[in-house]
Chain A
Amino acid sequence: MSYRFKKKLSKIFLVYLPLIPILSFILFPFYWCVITAFKPDSEIISRTVTYFP
């Protein structure tokens, strides 16, 4: 294992792996807020949840 490869691997584990769940937790409510704003009322209160407008 070369030094560069090791560094790249540590970056994946220490930066991107924890970043993805945290960012999705932070950003998902914003996404939900925005697409709910675009839905008609009947779609908001229907039991089938739609993820894309």
Chain B
Amino acid sequence: MMKQKQKKPIHWKAINRTLLPYYFLAPAGIVLLLFVAYPILNIFYYSFQNYNPSKAAQNGFAGMQNYINLFTKDKVFLDSLLVSVKWILVVVSMQFILGMIFALVLNNNFKCRGLARAAAFAPWALNGVMIAILWSLIFNQNIGVLNDLLMRIGMIQEPIAWLANPKTAFWAVCVAELWGGVPFFAISVLAKLQAIPTELYESCEIDGANRFEKFRYITFPLIKDAVVLLTLLRTVWEFNSVDLLLNLTGGGPMGMTSTLSIYLANQAIKTRNFGYGSAIGVVTFLIMLLFSAVYLRTTRYQEEEK
């Protein structure tokens, strides 16, 4: 009898001990649920609705109609998707190549190295709208400095409207974005390069490796994980970025710079078609999710080389 009674009571102390980590996680978890999970789920909810404050009479459940319209009737959506892919490919690869060169150069020992590093980081301190204003001043057809410089060198005969010309608008925005994004790669890769112990290079030199071999067999394998993560982050970032595009061209001449995010912003915020905008948002979200999974798998992120 006594034994049974002693077994019965619940051991709160033990339960509390196993639950203790969750108590500590709870504040952060609640904040995440409120500010991350709820908006995302809300987007999913609205994507199945007709929701347009200016046409309140038609609001209500729409089923798959938004998605059907998106994939069958809407030609602009596919065009924007293509522009998005082009935008990501061009911008991320340009930023990566230039940032990598910059980091490799800054990793050497030379005079005024601190100054050069500070300069490399400088564009990161400006916000997107500020960069957009600065570059729209440079690209301007009549008062822009770029036209003046090129005409002085003799590369062009008359001023070009860089941001209004369908042929150049996309590349002009790319250059501005490149300028704003180089520090991200330069600084992160540089930090990773600094962490490589010099003994590795010394032993490599004793083995008779040249510069290229040193890069191929020492530097690159050691920074590979960082490079994979950085390019992935930057890709998602550029896919979602609207600040420069919206302020420089706003989707630009004949939709040449209208990426999916710009199209989404125009649909949801300018035309107030929130249901349709949400459907676009869901599609972009799924695309990026799929891309991240495939990218991490194919690059073998954090896997030992066999």
Q: Which residues of A contact B (CB under 8 A)?
A: 11, 14-16, 18-19, 22-23, 25-27, 29-30, 32-33, 36, 44-47, 49, 51
Instruction: Count B interface residues, CB 8 Å.
Output: 22
Which residue in A11, A33, A36, A47 is a CB contact (below 8 Å) of B110?
A: A11
Output the nearest chain B residue to A30 by Cβ-Cβ distance: B122
Known: A22-B101, A29-B135, A46-B143. 6 other contacts (CB 8 A): A18-B101, A18-B105, A19-B105, A25-B179, A30-B122, A44-B143
For the complex, give the distance between the alpha carbons of A29 and B148 in Å: 14
Contacts A14-B108, A22-B105, A32-B134; A27 near B143 (Cβ below 8 A): no
Q: Number of contacts between A and B (CB, 8 Å)?
A: 49
Contact B179 A26 (CB under 8 A): yes
Contact B110 A16 (CB under 8 A): yes
Across-interface contacts of B182 in A (CB, < 8 A): 26
- Residue pairs across A and B with Cβ atoms less than 8 A apart, 26 shown, are A14-B105, A18-B101, A18-B105, A19-B105, A19-B116, A22-B98, A23-B116, A25-B179, A26-B120, A26-B123, A26-B179, A27-B119, A27-B122, A29-B134, A29-B135, A29-B138, A29-B179, A30-B122, A32-B138, A32-B145, A33-B134, A45-B143, A46-B143, A47-B142, A49-B144, A49-B148
* Residues of chain B in range 175-202 having any CB-CB distance to chain A below 8 Å: 179, 182
Contact A23 B119 (CB under 8 A): yes
Output the nearest chain B residue to A31 by Cβ-Cβ distance: B145
Output the nearest chain B residue to A46 by Cβ-Cβ distance: B143
